Amino acid sequence: MRSNSRLFFPLLLVFLMLQFSCFTRKDRQAETESVEATETVSSEAEKVPATKPTSTTENQITSIPKVNVFLEVSGGMVGFMPKGGAASEGTNFQKSVAGLLTEVNYSKAVQQKDFYFIREKNGTSQLQKSTYNDVLKTVSSGIPNPALGTELPEMLEQILKESGKTKAVSVIVSDFIYGPADKTKFNIIPQLIRGALNEAQEKDLVVSVFADQSNFTGSFHPAVKQPVAKRELKGTKMPYYVWVIGPQEEVILFNQKVFKDHPEQQAHFGFNYPEPVFEALTKLKPSGMVYCSERKPTGGCKSVTIGPQKDTPVEFEIGLNLESLPTLLQKPEYLKQNLQLNGKGFSGTIISVKQANAKDPAQEKYSHLVRVRITQAIAKSGQLVLTLPEKPAGWVNQWTTQNDNNPVAQPGKTFKLKEVLAGVQSLYSEQRNVFSISLNFIKDAND
């Protein structure tokens, strides 16, 4: 028995070593054959299976705990809300604001809601709690007992205090005309607005401003009282505004899911957007010599090898998920105008921006495709940097006036609107980039 066992163990050891060697050769051959010749996959990517990149919208909240809606019902707002009748058509203000009120009241994205009138009492701004039905009726049939005008800074301060009690998102509908009784305040409007919104800064709240216009029929009370203190208008286009103030995630959800039919004119203050999910889509109709040189396990292709020639530039698509941005910043025409391609070690430009095709598996993770053209690779390696800078809303200058006494002569303008919004901007740091992403590149060795 001893002699047989001594012979058995060496033979068993040789057998196991041969099996292990055969398995290893076959396994390596399978791995080698599975890697495409046009792509070099990093060792890190081989160890961890690729997964879908996390969208910036996947972790967002799905509902807003509380929304407070405030409608100004001063005498200056009467012209937006005529009584009307069966034979008359409602103003744009009545249609749009009624739609907004209804969405707030019935949207599943809003858990609780309260409605308020902004009135004037004894010379000061007052908030009067109401109901959805009463506020909707007022918008539809007019203001029964209009109050005097309210002081804008005081109004904002009271609204933030009221909403702060229940941590509610504030939605304010007003003409936002600030004509202080004390004329010495005209020169410090930004500072007064900044002070009124101080609570918003302390609680890390953001502000979205939406601007629209509507026919206005009735008494208009300009901020500049000369040569007349009141004018009677009939169907003159006048601006009105909806301000949304609250925590960033809740304001984004409100703007996207509740205030779905918001106007194109908008401005956003205090937002900090996460870096969008992105990758180079080198197999999506590329041109010239380009392929992925490094693919991250969860982030896709973050490095490309390129070989632009004198007469053959390189073109390829970069996929971006921009769904967390305001709708204005998602518009392809806005992105094409404002998106910048910078970096180092190359010459190139952006040639197109378009919506991604959600039905294409290669594009379904992304909302936009940015096609870039690289005409020259100056260095052996470098970075392609796509940046969307934060820019002041261009419409603000067009909608502001220093003298609103005669709106018929210059319709669609608000007194010192630029100064009011400058006060909002001063709550936050200097303007910065909405986002900036970086894609590495390597110059082809044969180039």
pLDDT tens for 194-221 read 999 999 988 999 999 999 999 999 999 8
State residue 43's pLDDT score.
33
Q: Greater confidence, 425 or 298?
A: 425
Enter the DSSP assignment of 287. Answer: B
Average pLDDT over residues 312-329: 94
Q: Greater confidence, 411 or 88?
A: 411
* Confidence class for position 17, pLDDT limits 50, 70, 90: very low
CA-based radius of gyration for the chain = 30
pLDDT > 80? residue 403: yes
Mean pLDDT of the chain: 85
Q: Please provide residue 124's backbone torsions phi and psi, each rounded to the nearest 5 degrees.
A: -130, 160
State residue 35's pLDDT score.
31
74-108: burial string, b at 16+ Cβ within 10 Å, e else: bbbbbbbbbeeeeeeebbbbbebbbebbebbbebe
Tell me the pLDDT tens digit for each residue of 269-297: 999 988 999 999 999 999 999 999 988 88
Angstrom distance (rounded) from CA 62 to CA 71: 26
State residue 145's pLDDT score.
82
Sign of the C-alpha dihedral computed for residues 322, 328, 333 and 338 taken in this order: negative
Average pLDDT over residues 238-246: 98
Average pLDDT over residues 122-132: 84
Which CATH number among 2.60.40, 1.10.10, 1.10.3470, 1.10.357 corresponds to the domain 43-54+274-391+433-443? 2.60.40
State residue 88's pLDDT score.
67
Residues whose CB is less than 8 angstroms from the CB of residue 299 and which lie 6 or more positions away in sequence, other chains included: 53, 277, 279
158-186: burial string, b at 16+ Cβ within 10 Å, e else: bbbebbeeeebbbbbbbbbbbbbeeeeeb
Q: Which of 286, 292, 285, 290 is nearest to 307 (CA)?
A: 290
Which of 10-19, 63-72, 404-413 shows the lowest mean pLDDT across its residues? 10-19
pLDDT > 50? residue 299: yes
Q: Which of 240, 400, 436, 244 is nearest to 326 (CA)?
A: 244
pLDDT > 60? residue 44: no
Average pLDDT over residues 87-114: 94
Q: Work out the number of other CB atoms within 10 angstroms of the CB of residue 434.
A: 21
**Domain locations along the chain:** 43-54+274-391+433-443, 64-272+392-425
Average pLDDT over residues 431-439: 90
- What are the structure tokens assigned to 22, written together? 């055969």
pLDDT > 90? residue 440: yes
Q: How far apart are the first and last CA of the chain?
A: 71
Q: What are the beta bridge partners of residue 208? A: 244, 268
